Amino acid sequence: MLATEVDEETRVAIARIAAAREAGDPGTLIDLAASQPLAWRTSAQLGSMVAEALMAMKRTDEALALLEQLLKEFPKSIRPRKLEALVHARKGDWRRAQMLLGELYFLGERDPETVGIYARTWRDRFAESQDRLHLRKARDLYVEAFSTP
């Protein structure tokens, strides 16, 4: 019975997140993320969805705060780490993003999304340094990202 309740809580929470995102309502998203139903405490999935919605609304500071909390609660969860790196990249902090993504990359997280965001950090690094080695690294990573089956 507990599993059924959690499944239903998750289904309703996903619908509420989608509705708040569609309505452009960051306050509701933040309130949802602060709620304590079991579905929110057992997985980083719902919190990550809220963070993505906040990022889509360009509420990067709120998304980053939520992701930091998720990583405290779910330190082994990969999705919040990726999203944290993406927030840093979008805020122009390619150094922090590159370190976070580099760690994931060398831990074997080589899915197209992770590798593509990692490539972006190298492109951003090139924009600052004008070092062609950085551009080549970005190119090679983009090739890897788009070649992954």
The structural domains of the chain, with segments of one domain joined by +, span: 1-75, 92-149
Which residues lie below 8 Å from residue 30, measured CB to CB, with a gap of 6+?
Answer: 50, 54, 62, 66
pLDDT tens for residues 11-53? 999 999 999 999 999 999 999 999 888 888 889 999 999 999 9
State the pLDDT confidence band at 107, using cuts at 50, 70 and 90. Answer: very high
Rama region for 24: left / alpha / beta (φ>0; ψ in -120 to 50; rest): left
pTM: 0.89
* Burial of 72: CB neighbours in 10 Å, binned 0-12, 13-18, 19+: exposed
Q: What percent of the chain is predicted at pLDDT more than 90?
A: 88
